[in-house]
Amino acid sequence: MAVQPRARTIVSMLCSALLATTAATLPAHAESPAAPASWEVRGPLGSPTAVVSLDPADGSPTLAVRRAGRTVLEPSPVGLVTEQADFSKGLTFTGRTDRAISERYTIPTGKSHERLVRMTESRFRFRTADGARLDLLTRVAPDGVAYRYVLPEDHGDVVREASAFTLPSTAEAVISAYRRDNELPFVRYQSAAAVPAGTYSMQALFKTDGGYALVAESDLNGSYAGSHLTHTADSPTFGVSPWNDEPIQVSGSLTTPWRAVITGDLATVTESTFTDDLAPKSRVRDTSWIKPGPALWTWLAGGKEAGQSLEAQKKYVDYAADRGWPYEVVDAGWYYKPGQWDVIDPDWQTNSWMPELVRHGKERGVEIQVWLHYTLLTDPVEREKWLSTLERWGVKGVKIDFMDSESQERMRWYDDALEDTAKHHLMVNFHGSTIPKGIQRTWPHVMTLEGVGGEEKRNNTAVQLAALPFTRNVIGSMDFTPGAFHRPFRPNVQSDAGELGLTVLYESGIQNLAGTPESYDARPEARRYLEQLPTGWEETRLLTGDPGRSAVLARKAPDGRWFIGGTFAGAAQDVDVPLRLGAGKWLVETVTDGPSGLVRAPHVVRGGDTLTVPVVADGGFAALACRWYAGRTSCDR
């Protein structure tokens, strides 16, 4: 009996659901080489669709991304070329294997501690005319599409990638030029084709007909090099090139990093943990010693002199203790000869005052983290000496600076440094560094990374402040070091409320607060707010925003309170903020700029209401929300 149209529809729906939700025991299947030259990969309900195709004319593979029938990514080249084989064309499809992925993991840093991963993975197998094999591994999740290459056999060094991202011609772009420290500003362009020719960072945001798309990378280690985007004028295509276009050294089989597109509406992209979800599981078995939290960072507060003064550092520790901040970070200078700069004391292990500072801090509930130039840790013997000594002294973390490279050699150094810092129970903050790329899932003792032109830089703008929540900070913790109210160069210098809001708007496992004690004491409302900052977040929600123009995020603390930070570029205005905090009544305490300083104001609202907040030019605000009950007048803990 013929199957009726409605029955065929039901069968089709059931088959799609089975592929998206079945556990990893889903049986593999191999398709015939005569299968169509185009194959779809569908993820869990609501996911985008990846389309892998093979050009019948020249055997070149492409990958496209659609969402709800609309284009996110046009068919884009995939493949790579090695010394011995060209896997960018002349390929023949030989089979496909599918499986569903369902995982849960916890992570001490980031937008949330608890993570749920649901993806569909498809492995497409191709061969060259000479029989060399390339597997294209593709994953689709509700918030993204990613692919990587697997070479089961050694075919020599990788000469180049054919990988590229071709955007729709009308796609808007928010993108930063590439530099080895990843610290250049983001610029907004009306179309992808209007982006000037050049090299760009692998954290580019595009607004397409099918939603936003953030290009990123994940699972980068010393088997490969960090990559950047390349662009030619008047083209909507952005190629992928490894560091300095140097060959990737390969010995044996190869699995490349993931090339990822985080996609969805703006909230989906902003709240995504896709690059973490793609990364390997934690390599640190016992994570009980990994404890995020706010820190008083003494570099912008005291400079070089403070770095060489035990008495100054003790005073900073005392101030952190009074605020309830769990850490104080000692920057450059502490291991140099007294009165000299950049001259290491050869007897630093015996002459250092650091053990005394650690003891002083422990008595007051404040742990110490210290700055190191990465060159101290390049030799394995020297690295062991430094790290073992710091562990013995009781130091809890290291801020490692000036790597300034994403070469394969430097990524191999990262591998070694990560393993050794974990062995010695030292949390890590990387400066002059790569960007996260999944590192915080695999190595959860990485609290934060720079990879951003932070508070100490003088070239930030209000536009940059409003671009970072949708670009750099999407892919992992970002050490912007907010809170430097005393800095005359900050773009929101007329908005102390905006500066305060950055401490929530920007996520960092160690939130290094860069102000002076005097600047905090002169702003009691800011000091009060900073004393409330939690050690981590349970959930992150975008309340409203427009990349490069505005951003308002809410982050949920473990005690159920929501912290809110907002920043805006442009003229003074009253902004409407939707409160996506949950049903029921809430007390929301806003901190805004007034004629005589910061003003704290209570508002009793319902979840889902819109709150109107006054913002000065190139300014912002901070807020704290808690459940309201009769008689409650404050959200203080």
Q: Which CATH number is 504's domain given? A: 3.20.20.70
C-alpha to C-alpha distance for 19 and 77, rounded to whole angstroms: 26
C-alpha to C-alpha distance for 63 and 264, rounded to whole angstroms: 18
Q: Which of the listed residues 449, 466, 498 is the one where a domain comes to its end?
A: 449
Q: ∠ CA(305), CA(306), CA(309), 5° rounding?
A: 90
Same domain for 311 and 224, yes or no, is no
Residue 239: alpha-carbon gap to chain centroid: 21
Q: Which of the listed residues 429, 449, 469 is the one where a domain comes to its end?
A: 449
Does residue 345 belong to any structural domain of this protein? yes
Question: Where residue 192 sits, what CATH number does that domain have?
Answer: 2.70.98.10
User: What letter represents residue 507's amino acid?
Assistant: E
C-alpha to C-alpha distance for 469 and 552, rounded to whole angstroms: 9
pLDDT recorded at residue 15: 41
Does residue 523 belong to any structural domain of this protein? no
- The domain tally of the chain equals 3
Per the annotation, the verdict on 456 as an active-site residue is yes
pLDDT recorded at residue 22: 36
| DSSP, residue by residue, 475-527 | SS-B------TT-TT-TTTT-HHHHHHHHHHS--SEEEE---HHHHHT-HHHH
Same domain for 510 and 604, yes or no, is yes
Does residue 110 belong to any structural domain of this protein? yes
The Cβ of residue 365 has, within 10 Å, a number of other Cβ atoms equal to 12
C-alpha to C-alpha distance for 535 and 106, rounded to whole angstroms: 15
Same domain for 352 and 479, yes or no, is no
Same domain for 238 and 359, yes or no, is no
Same domain for 186 and 58, yes or no, is yes
pLDDT recorded at residue 5: 40
Q: Tell me which of 172, 367, 401, 589 is the catalytic residue.
A: 401
Query: How many residues are there in the chain?
Result: 637
Task: State the residue range of the domain holding 387.
Answer: 292-449
Per the annotation, the verdict on 401 as an active-site residue is yes
Q: Tell me which of 31, 456, 538, 546 is the catalytic residue.
A: 456
pLDDT recorded at residue 11: 36
Paired strand residues for 421: none
Q: Which of the listed residues 216, 248, 278 is the one where a domain comes to its end?
A: 278
Whether the CB-CB separation of 328 and 315 falls below 8 Å is answered with no
Does residue 526 belong to any structural domain of this protein? no
DSSP classification of residue 461: -
Question: What is the 3-state secondary structure of 20-64?
Answer: HHCCCCCCCCCCCCCCCCEEEEECCCCCCEEEEEECCCCCCEEEE
User: What letter represents residue 501's amino acid?
Assistant: G
Same domain for 214 and 312, yes or no, is no
Does residue 210 belong to any structural domain of this protein? yes
- Average pLDDT of adjacent 10-residue blocks, the chain of 637 residues: 39 39 39 66 97 96 97 98 98 98 98 98 98 98 98 97 96 98 97 97 97 98 98 97 96 97 98 98 97 97 91 98 98 92 92 97 98 98 98 98 98 98 98 97 98 95 98 98 96 98 98 98 98 97 98 98 98 97 97 98 96 98 97 92
Same domain for 546 and 606, yes or no, is yes
Q: For residue 502, count CB atoms less than 10 angstroms from its CB and return exposed for 0-12, middle for 13-18, buried for 19 or more.
A: buried
Same domain for 69 and 192, yes or no, is yes
Same domain for 244 and 298, yes or no, is no
Strand boundaries in 292-432, DSSP class E: 293-297, 327-330, 367-373, 397-401, 427-430
Specify the pTM: 0.93
Same domain for 361 and 425, yes or no, is yes
Same domain for 141 and 246, yes or no, is yes
Does residue 343 belong to any structural domain of this protein? yes
Does residue 283 belong to any structural domain of this protein? no
Does residue 142 belong to any structural domain of this protein? yes
Same domain for 67 and 80, yes or no, is yes
| DSSP SS3 for 251 | coil
Task: List phi, psi (to 5°) of 477.
Answer: -55, 145
Paired strand residues for 624: 563, 589
C-alpha to C-alpha distance for 451 and 456, rounded to whole angstroms: 13
